[in-house]
């Protein structure tokens, strides 16, 4: 066995302290530092004048090679690394913000669905699960609770008819949170229209259906 040191496990050397600080300062300037953990990337903490980067799985200090690799990864978008933006973290930040907005309102629990439908909570729970299995209702799990986004329901608590053919392809392969965000925020594929609102117009419904299928296909490709 070789007695040579394992550079992959060695902590950053003093020469890396400048890069550690530069990378942290860049992410802070972009407002993305708090998205590192959610993205499964190494994180850092400031201890005095030092910036300590650690591995997400082990908590071990990043080696010099790993720190440089992380820097390259985050600056890989665009032709000029000096002006690159970590697109994945930007997207994650946006989704985190939108998720919080959605959680602040716009959803029902089983009891809420029951009140709209005029049935018992148990009956509503059964109906929600059956509809979710048939991919005719978007259901989102959050901290052990089941949320039913209300945009998809009519005044009687039933799924809006025009959304049935939109939900079905989405719920095959698109993460429920992502589906909720996509359906309720402006979509590029629809020229900036909000999908669930555009679907109310018969002349726009086909476009919304096609956009939903396109999103589902991209999600399948990413998963494959």
Residues 67 and 111 in one domain: no
In a domain, 8, yes or no: no
Residues 118 and 214 in one domain: yes
Work out the angle at residue 179's Cα, subtended by the Cα atoms of residues 174 and 183, and round it to the nearest 5 degrees.
145
Work out the angle at residue 125's Cα, subtended by the Cα atoms of residues 181 and 97, and round it to the nearest 5 degrees.
20
In a domain, 7, yes or no: no
Half-sphere exposure of 42 toward its Cβ, with a 13 Å CA cutoff? 25
Residues 194 and 151 in one domain: yes
Residues 216 and 147 in one domain: yes
Rounded CA-CA distance 42/36 in Å is: 7
The answer to whether the CB of 123 falls within 8 A of the CB of 114 is yes
Residues 34 and 116 in one domain: no
In a domain, 26, yes or no: yes
Residues 31 and 88 in one domain: yes
pTM of the complete model beyond 0.85: no
What is the predicted pLDDT for the residue at 166? 96
Residues 137 and 57 in one domain: no
Residue ranges, the chain, pLDDT below 50 = 1-10, 12-15, 79-81, 83
Residues 38 and 125 in one domain: no
In a domain, 29, yes or no: yes
In a domain, 74, yes or no: yes
Residues 180 and 89 in one domain: no
The answer to whether the CB of 210 falls within 8 A of the CB of 170 is no
Whole domain around residue 48: which residue ranges? 14-95
- DSSP H helices, the chain, are 17-30, 64-74, 87-103, 110-117, 121-133, 164-173, 176-184, 195-198, 202-223
């Amino acid at each position: 066995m070789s007695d040579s040191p394992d550079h992959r496990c060695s902590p950053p050397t003093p020469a890396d302290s400048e890069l550690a600080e530069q990378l942290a300062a860049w992410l802070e300037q972009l407002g993305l530092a708090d998205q590192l953990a959610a993205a499964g990337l190494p994180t850092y903490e400031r201890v005095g004048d030092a910036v300590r980067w650690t591995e997400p799985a082990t908590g071990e200090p990043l080696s010099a090679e790993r720190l440089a690799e992380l820097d390259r990864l985050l600056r890989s978008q665009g032709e000029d690394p000096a002006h690159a933006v970590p697109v994945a973290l930007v997207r994650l930040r946006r989704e985190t913000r939108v998720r919080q907005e959605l959680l602040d309102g716009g959803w029902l629990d089983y009891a809420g669905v029951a009140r709209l439908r005029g049935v018992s909570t148990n009956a509503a729970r059964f109906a929600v699960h059956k509809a979710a299995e048939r991919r005719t209702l978007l259901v989102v799990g959050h901290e052990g609770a089941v949320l039913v986004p209300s945009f998809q329901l009519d005044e009687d608590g039933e799924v809006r008819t025009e959304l049935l053919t939109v939900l079905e392809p989405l719920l095959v392969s698109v993460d429920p949170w992502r589906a909720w965000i996509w359906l309720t925020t402006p979509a590029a594929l629809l020229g900036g229209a909000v999908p669930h609102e555009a679907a109310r117009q018969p002349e726009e419904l086909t476009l919304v259906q096609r956009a939903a299928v396109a999103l589902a296909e991209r999600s399948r490709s990413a998963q494959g």
